[in-house]
Amino acid sequence: MTDITSVKKEIIDVLKADPVLQALLTKDQRGEWPVYHSFVQHKIHKPCITVEDVTGQAEVSGLNDAYDGSARYEWNHAVIQVDCWSSRHAEERDKLQTAVQRCLLKNAVGSVLYVHEPTVLALDEMDVKPPLWRKSLRFKVMYVLEVAAD
């Protein structure tokens, strides 16, 4: 059964495995690629990428469900936000954003049926010390959910 949590994990796994992103990132203190589920509010390794869903609950396309005789399936839409963070400069942030976008649009993401072209916003935080350069990408994704029997 696919749910929004497993969709986010699959996206994180695809991003961590991408060689272009690996060339732009350095491993964190745990020896892992810095692609995290949501932003941790303490000192974090940068540059990094964070992934979270911004829809509280997936939007079910009500008329587009299917029943195969043993289980009912629903096609679900969700918005996944991927943020690219840098503490160096905007160019590093932009390179990460381009690599993330290419990675998610060209690679199959597990159980996700499609990933739509993202909305991209620059959300730099210049009033903090040190400044943070941030680009936010919001991808609409579609995935199939097996519905529990009533």
List the pLDDT tens digit at each of the 150 positions of the chain.
468 888 899 999 999 999 999 999 999 888 999 999 876 655 677 899 999 988 755 555 555 566 666 777 777 888 999 999 998 999 999 999 999 999 999 987 777 778 889 999 999 999 988 889 999 999 998 887 777 655
Distance, in Å, from the CA atom of 9 to the CA atom of 139, rounded to the nearest integer, reads 15
pTM of the full structure:
0.85
| The predicted structure's pLDDT at residue 73 | 73
Q: What is the pLDDT of residues 64-84, one digit of tens each?
A: 566 666 777 777 888 999 999
Dig out the tokens for 5 from the structure.
């949590």
The phi-psi region of residue 49 (left if phi > 0; otherwise alpha if psi is between -120 and 50; otherwise beta) is beta
Strands 35-37 and 48-53: parallel
Taking the C-alpha atoms of 31, 32, 37 and 43 in order, what is their torsion angle to the nearest 10 degrees?
40
Which domains does the chain show, CATH number per domain? Answer: 4-147 (3.30.2000.10)
| The predicted structure's pLDDT at residue 71 | 72
Distance, in Å, from the CA atom of 82 to the CA atom of 118, rounded to the nearest integer, reads 10
SS3 4: helix
